Amino acid sequence: MFQIFRPDTLFFLSVLLLTAGLPSSNSLMSWGQFGMAAAWFLYGNWKLKFTRLMNKSGIWGLPVIFVLFLVGMIHTEDMVEGWHILKIFLPLFIVPVMLVTMPAISNAQKSWVIHTLLGSLWVCMGIGVWLYWIMPSGTMNDFRKLSPFISNVRFSMLLVMGFFLSIYLFSKKGDSYRWLPSWIYLVIAMGMLIYLFMLKSLTGFFVLIIIITVHLLYCLFVKSGKYAVYSIIIGLVLGVFAISKLILNEYHRYHSVKDGDLSNLPLSTRYGSIYKHDTTRWEKENGYHVWINISWYELKQAWNKRSKVDFDGLTANGFLIRETLIHFLASKGLRKDADGVNKLTDKEIKAIEQGVGNVNFMNPFSIRTRIYEVIKELDYYQRTGDASGKSISARLEIWKHTIKNIRKEPCIGVGTGDVLNTMYQSYADSHTLLHPVYWMNPHNQYLFTALALGIPLAIMFIILFAYPVFIYQGYLFTIYWAIVMLAMLDEDTLTTQAGATQVAFLFSLFLLSFSYKRKNV
């Protein structure tokens, strides 16, 4: 009756609580860790714990990474920020130690953990869909609603893991942990894949494609059957061709010119209003110039008759209605006058009110739309040097400043607590066009580590992360290891409490519970 108060039972329930909180709640993750810590102390058996820790050297990497950043405190000037960073990194030390020194969980308990993760992901997906489509407020392209509780990138990483976890349960290898008929796990996997496309996370796409490609290449060299080899080669070639063609089509669509000779532009509308033309501005939408054929007077009059949002007001996502309107009209090849506004449908008027500046963006889940957006923002960054508000170009600007600062202190770095101050100073000194609200940490865990600790310890950081995969093998562990290593190229994953907890927990869980030591080690 009181089995719940046994330390090992309390520990397992706390693990489930932490698992449920990974995609949904920082509070659940914190309470899960508190429960695990309480159970760990109550369990006692310190000598046995030490023996277990010594026998599983593959788990030492994460705690040693914490020690590396502790060493970085020696030459840190901002001690307050340094201790704050160490507090964030603390799960890397305590979570693996607790998991390896407590009794190993059974197959039944493993099944509970992985189904809790899948269930929590699906609950969050359902809430995201509800917020995006049913809630009346917000914008059509506000994809943050699809990741309602955690960052878009971190949620996409969990979706990628959930996809491969579902495939594992669908396969024969997942028999020991399966609760439902195998075909249901395939449906779950496809649902997560579709949601990942809805989320339009380029990091998620990148990680998913790389892992699938590497997996197929592995099968190519391991499988001896010629039909399997031919199938994989054909699949990879077709995949590369399809992606390349998609990117090239969007590149040509963005750079094409469809409105002809700009030297013979009309002087007035059919109602006699004078057109304004600015042929020096290069912006285009779907090949049509934005800043030509504009009658501001007619636009204002016609818009205010069609919409309750004032022409001089703002869209739902904070941009000027007038500029969003002319971009949208340009994307349809329409002149920016009363006739152009009157040709818009009610649905298009609503989309403009919500901040949609291109008719093609009305399909928010199209991968073509996201590729076009990236090409557009990179072109804008190249022409102006301003990366404000743009996810890809902002990262390029941030990385440029990070690398410049790494070159100044390549051996020992600036110290664990001085990364942000160093970046701020670099932004200010360079007079960057990047708005101060986007002055951030490096957005790349490897660059963050190199800047904080120096290049030698950054190399040690990579070795510590890579070491376990050469000692242990297992489908789920290898997949999650690859997800983390790839995700850290685009995010300083460990510099948030939630990110550090997620990595520490899932990395340790899959290593300890779903892998085995290689025979030749």
Q: Which residue has the tokens 């249901």?
A: 184
Find the mean pLDDT for residues 352-381: 81
Q: State both tokens at 68.
A: 């590396």
228-235 long-range Cβ contacts below 8 angstroms, 24+ apart: none
Name beta bridge partners: 472.
517
Q: What is the pLDDT of residues 304-323, one digit of tens each?
A: 999 989 999 998 877 899 99
> pLDDT band for position 295 (50/70/90)?
very high
Share of the chain above pLDDT 90, in %: 37
Letter for the amino acid at 504?
A
Predicted pLDDT of residue 256:
80
Q: State both tokens at 491.
A: 């995010």
Residue 466, Cβ neighbours under 10 Å: how many?
12
Predicted pLDDT of residue 2:
44
The pTM (predicted TM-score) of the whole model is 0.84
Find the mean pLDDT for residues 293-309: 92
Find the mean pLDDT for residues 462-481: 88
Name the burial class of residue 401, with classes exposed (0-12), middle (13-18) and buried (19+) by CB atoms within 10 angstroms of its CB.
buried
> pLDDT band for position 150 (50/70/90)?
confident
* 151 contacts 481 by C-beta, under 8 angstroms: no
Residue 136 has pLDDT above 60, yes or no: no
Residue 447 has pLDDT above 90, yes or no: yes
What 3-state DSSP class applies to 516? Answer: strand
Q: Which residues, other chains included, contact 121 with Cβ-Cβ below 8 Å and sequence gap of 6+?
A: 23, 158, 159, 162, 192
Name the burial class of residue 321, with classes exposed (0-12), middle (13-18) and buried (19+) by CB atoms within 10 angstroms of its CB.
buried
Cα angle vertex 150, ends 149, 152, to 5°? 120
Predicted pLDDT of residue 302:
92
Letter for the amino acid at 102?
M
Helix (H) or strand (E) holding 419: helix 419-430
Q: Which residue has the tokens 């209003």?
A: 273
Find the mean pLDDT for residues 223-235: 62
Predicted pLDDT of residue 224:
52
Predicted pLDDT of residue 178:
82
* 282 contacts 291 by C-beta, under 8 angstroms: no
Mean pLDDT of the chain: 85
Predicted pLDDT of residue 221:
65
- CA-CA distances (angstroms) from residue 297 to 302, 310, 322, 490, 497? 9, 14, 11, 45, 52
Query: Where are the alpha helices (H) located in 223-318, listed in sequence order?
Result: 226-255, 296-306
N-to-C CA span, the chain? 45
Predicted pLDDT of residue 359:
87
Q: Where are the domains of the chain?
A: 246-384
Count of helix runs (H) and strand runs (E) in the chain: 22, 4
Predicted pLDDT of residue 120:
92
Predicted pLDDT of residue 412:
92
Predicted pLDDT of residue 64:
93
Phi, psi of 472 (to 5 degrees): -120, 155
Cα angle vertex 355, ends 25, 431, to 5°? 80
Q: What is the pLDDT of residues 79-93, one digit of tens each?
A: 999 999 999 999 999
